Amino acid sequence: MPEALEIAQAGLSLPGHCGYDFAIWTSDLAQGLGQPGLALRASTIAFNVAIARLTDFR
């Protein structure tokens, strides 16, 4: 699983339509593997993606 976390961490900066879901998945994986810093970073990215979508919706 640590390899999956490395790949997920690299993927957080990639553009695309799945950013929110990917960031949430990465956050959950990082939390489960005892990486709270990465979990927080991924959650922050998910939050920012959600805010951007909300702004686009308005």
Model pTM score: 0.83
Residue 13, domain extent: 2-57
Say if CB 10 and CB 3 are below 8 A apart. Answer: no
Structural domains of the chain, count: 1
Q: What is the pLDDT along the chain (58 residues), one digit of tens a residue?
A: 889 999 988 888 887 778 899 999 999 999 999 999 999 999 999 999 998 877 766 6
